[in-house]
Amino acid sequence: MKALLLIDIQNDFVPGGRLAVPGGDAIIPLVNSLQTKFDLVVASQDWHPAGHLSFASSHPGRAPFEQIDLHGLPQTLWPDHCVQETPGAALHPALDTRRVEAIFRKGMAPDIDSYSAFFDNGHRKATGLTAYLRGRGVTDVYLAGLAGDFCVYFSALDALAAGFTTHVVTDATRAISDDGFRAALADMETKGAHLVLSSDLVADP
């Protein structure tokens, strides 16, 4: 049983958005066509309260992309993004959501970030995605979406740790940093993830 996880395909993560991932919108036609190859399609949505502590604007004197220590965890400071109920937080209007059975929101606790769709960055609280996938009989998880060096990456690590056979559809993701993405791909592969191309899936009979 194969599930497609569509990670954070939201307005703020595409060009024109507050935390734009270069080429982020280019994956949308691809992920739409991929959906028909899966038994289950699930999405995640970055969903921060205003004033979230991952925002540089919450730390006087700090600028976006600086690193700080946040309650003992390394934290990259971001521009304000995906603020609950704002247009930037909405799933991209070109994303076909007709087959998306559930949307898991994350990043709602004001004092901790949550890159993974499974857990916050401190692994303190689960979103329930692991139990949901197990309950649906999922064995194989395929990840696509944004950003390849953050939320796709950390979601893949948690999918691996949960014991799912984990695949990353590398041409159906885009990253904030090329170097970060290279390192993330190497780490995911070392930890057992399968790096695949969408053409491998669409060609499957």
Cα angle 86, 91, 93; round to 5? 105
Query: Cα 104–58–72 angle (5° rounding)?
Result: 75
Question: Could you tell me the CA-to-CA distances from 52 to 84, 131, 199 in Å, in that order?
Answer: 11, 27, 38
According to CB under 5 A, which one of 12, 25, 46, 158 is a site residue for Zn ion?
46
The residue among 37 and 122 lying less far from ligand VGL, judged by its C-beta, is 122
In the complex, the smallest distance separating the C-beta of residue 40 from Zn ion, rounded to whole angstroms, is 25
Rounded-to-integer distance, Cα 170 and Cα 11, Å: 20
12 three-class SS = helix
Considering 8, 12, 80, 120, which one is annotated as catalytic?
8
Is 8 or 35 the residue whose CB approaches Zn ion more closely?
8
Residues near ligand VGL (CB under 6 A): 8, 13, 46, 78, 115, 146-147, 150-151
Name the catalytic one among 46, 113, 151, 158.
Answer: 151
**191 is an active site residue:** no
Q: Which residues are catalytic?
A: 8, 106, 151
Binding site for Zn ion (CB under 5 A): 46, 107
